[in-house]
A and B are shown apart, each in its own frame.
Chain A
Amino acid sequence: MAAERKAQLKVYRGDKEGGELKDYEVETYPGMVVLDAIHDIQAKQEPSLAVRWNCKAGRCGSCSAEINGKPKLMCMTRMTSFPENEPITVTPMKSFPIIKDLVTDVSSNFRMAKKIPAFRPRPKEADGTWRMQQEDIDRIQEFRKCIECFLCQDTCHVIRDHGKAEDFAGPRFLIALAGLDMHPLDTLDRRELVKDEFKVGYCNITRCCTEVCPEHINITDNGIIPMKERVADDYFDPLRWVIRKFTGGPEKKEKAHLPVLQEKTGSK
Chain B
Amino acid sequence: MPAKPNGKGSEKVRRVIVVGGGLAGLMTVIKLCEAGVPVDLFSLVPVKRSHSVCAQGGINASVNTKGEGDSPAVHLEETVYGGDFLANQPPVKGMADAAPGIVFMLDRMGVPFNRTAEGLLDFRRFGGTLFHRTAFAGATTGQQLLYALDEQVRRYETLDVEDSKGSVIRGEKMVRKFELWDFLSIVRDDDGVARGIVAQDLKSMEIEAFSGEAVCLATGGCGIVFGRSTNSVINTGTAAAAVYRQGACYANGEFIQVHPTAIPGADKLRLISESARGEGGRVWVPRDPRDARKGREIPEKDREYFLEEKYPGYGNLVPRDIAARELFKKCFHEKRGVYDPKTKKNENEVYLDLTHMPEEMLRKKLAGILEIYEKFVGEDPYTNPMRVFPAVHYSMGGLWVDFERSHSGSLVIGSPRNQATNIEGLYACGECDYQYHGANRLGANSLLSCIYGGMAAGPAIATYVKNMRKASTGDTSKSVFEAARKREEDHYKSILDMEGDENPYVLHQELAETMLRDCTIERDNGVLDKVIEKIDDIELRARKCGVTDQATHANQGAPFIRHLFNMVVIARVIAQGARNRDESRGAHFKPAFEKRDDKNWLRTTLAMHEAGEGNQNNSIKYVRGIDYSIHGAPMHASDAVDVSLVTPRVRKYETAGAASETAKKSDDHEDEKSENRAEA
A: residues with CB less than 8 A from B are 15, 29-33, 36, 42-43, 47-51, 53-62, 76, 99-101, 103, 105-106, 110, 113-114, 118-119, 121, 129-134, 137, 140-141, 144-145, 147-148, 180, 183, 185-186, 259-260, 262-266, 268
Contacts and interface: CB of A to CB of B under 8 A. Distances in A.
B218 to A, nearest CB: 17
Given A29-B266, A60-B49, A264-B168, A145 B138 contact: yes
Contacts of A131: 115, 118-120
Contact of B113 (A30, A60, A137, A260): A137
B554 A121 contact: no
Closest 3 CB pairs of A and B: A131-B119, A48-B549, A119-B110
B318 to A, nearest CB: 25
A29 B166 CA distance: 63
Contacts of B98: none
B294 to A, nearest CB: 17
Contacts of A47: 547-549, 556-557
Contact of B155 (A15, A259, A268): A259
B551 interface: yes
A50 B158 contact: no
B158 A114 contact: yes
B151 A119 contact: yes
B527 interface: no
Main secondary structure of the interface of B (DSSP, over half): loop
Point out which of A106, A119, A121 has the most chain B C-beta atoms below 10 A from its C-beta: A119
Contacts of B120: 129, 131
Contacts of B115: 131-134, 137
B556 A50 contact: yes
Given A32-B266, A54-B232, A58-B375, 12 more contacts: A48-B549, A48-B555, A54-B233, A59-B143, A100-B553, A130-B107, A144-B147, A148-B49, A185-B110, A259-B154, A264-B168, A266-B162
A134 B160 CA distance: 38
Contacts of A60: 45, 49-51, 53-54, 232
A31 B269 CA distance: 12
B271 interface: yes
A259 B158 contact: yes
B662 interface: no
Contact of B54 (A51, A55, A103): A55
A50 B114 CA distance: 40
B557 A57 contact: no
Contacts of A103: 554
B471 to A, nearest CB: 24
Interface in B328-349: none
A51, A57, A103, A134 interface centre (most CB from chain B within 10 Å): A57
A130 B113 CA distance: 12
28 contacts: A42-B556, A43-B506, A47-B556, A48-B556, A49-B556, A50-B556, A54-B233, A56-B232, A56-B267, A58-B372, A60-B50, A60-B232, A101-B554, A105-B203, A114-B157, A119-B110, A121-B110, A129-B119, A140-B112, A144-B147, A148-B48, A186-B110, A262-B158, A266-B159, A266-B160, A266-B162, A266-B174, A268-B166
B368 interface: yes
Interface in B119-165: 119-120, 137-138, 140, 143-144, 147-148, 151-152, 154-155, 157-160, 162
